[in-house]
Amino acid sequence: MARYHEAVCRLCRREGMKLFLKGERCFKEKCAVERRSYAPGQHGKRRNKLQPYGMQLREKQKVRRVYGVLEAQFRRYFAEATRQKGVAGENLLRLLELRLDNVVYSLGFASSRNQARQLVRHGHLQVNGRTTNIPSFHVREGDRIEVRPSSRKTEYFKTLKDALGGAQKPDWVAVDADTFVGTVSSLPTRDQAISMLMSVMQAPIAKFVRTINEVPGKLVRTIAAVRDQKEAA
């Protein structure tokens, strides 16, 4: 299963803002954005001004990195969003919000989506009574997400139980802190789905969804132009 294995702090630095990819560390002075608020790399301090296409691309990259999906998987989500009724951008965010790892994070079982992904992969979570270890599993309205009885005895969940009750959660999920049982009470609405992203996004949703279709065409034209220059030389 493909996923990003490199340092995630450089992703925040590349976007020029905190994407909150490392849980509690993002709120401390050790955060990479606080210590080095410029893009990584040799020429990170001298970035050129972005054109409109570059701005759209950066906003799309923010969304993709916040939810921890790679480009091919993001394209599949976009294709599914366009097939559904309604606004494609809103459908896309709803699909991303209903990933199992994101729901586990929203319930407060993990401090970051990466940690939630690990909990799912290690088989600590059950969906409707069945152990599910697929982070991209699509959760539906009314589904019941709970921690396995054997996993509740671990030190991690014993410590988490005290802090789980006071944690803030989206309105579309409900959780019982005593039994570690969460429920998707409703589908996330437009405002609920984008409330978290508005803190890291600068462009309207309609802009970055168009970028998905624009990238392949421009990439092909760029490659063709470079090839023509080499042949002319």
Give phi and psi for 180, each to the nearest 5: 55, 45
Q: Tell me, what's the pLDDT at 229?
A: 60
Q: Tell me, what's the pLDDT at 102?
A: 92
Indicate the fold that domain 1-48 takes in CATH.
Answer: Ribosomal Protein S4 Delta 41; Chain A, domain 1 (1.10.1050)
pLDDT band at 57 (very low <50, low <70, confident <90, very high): confident
Q: Tell me, what's the pLDDT at 10?
A: 72
Backbone conformation region of residue 187, classed left if phi is above 0, alpha if psi is from -120 to 50, else beta: beta
Helices vs strands, H then E, count in the chain = 10, 5
pLDDT band at 73 (very low <50, low <70, confident <90, very high): very high
Residue that is written with structure tokens 């079982």 in the block: 109
Residue range 176-205, pLDDT digits in tens: 888 899 999 998 877 776 665 554 444 444
Q: Tell me, what's the pLDDT at 17?
A: 73
Question: Does the structure show a pLDDT above 60 at 220?
Answer: no
The token duo for 71 is 């480009």
Q: Tell me, what's the pLDDT at 231?
A: 60
Which residues are within 8 A (CB) of 208 and not within 5 positions of it... i.e. 6 or more apart? Answer: 56, 57, 59, 60, 63, 89, 201
pTM score: 0.75
Q: Tell me, what's the pLDDT at 195?
A: 61
Give one DSSP letter per residue of 139-175, joined into a string: --TT-EEEE-TTGGGSHHHHHHHHHHTTS---TTEEE
135: which DSSP letter? Answer: T
Give the containing element (helix H, strand E) for 127.
strand 125-127
CATH 3.10.290.10 domain range(s) in the chain: 101-187
Residue range 111-138, pLDDT digits in tens: 888 899 999 999 999 999 999 999 999 9
Strand order in the sheet with 125-127: 130-131, 125-127, 144-147, 181-184, 173-176
CATH class of 101-187: alpha beta
36-50, 66-80, 119-133, 149-163: the lowest-pLDDT one: 36-50
CATH code, 50-98+197-209: 1.10.1050.10
46-55, 76-85, 160-169, 200-209: the lowest-pLDDT one: 200-209
CA distance 63 to 23: 17
Handedness of CA 115, 116, 120, 126 (dihedral sign): positive
Q: Tell me, what's the pLDDT at 35?
A: 75
Tell me, rounded to whole angstroms, the distance of Cα 56 from its chain centroid: 17
CATH 1.10.1050.10 domain range(s) in the chain: 1-48, 50-98+197-209
Q: Tell me, what's the pLDDT at 191?
A: 74
Backbone conformation region of residue 18, classed left if phi is above 0, alpha if psi is from -120 to 50, else beta: beta
Greatest mean pLDDT among 1-15, 54-68, 101-115, 165-179: 101-115
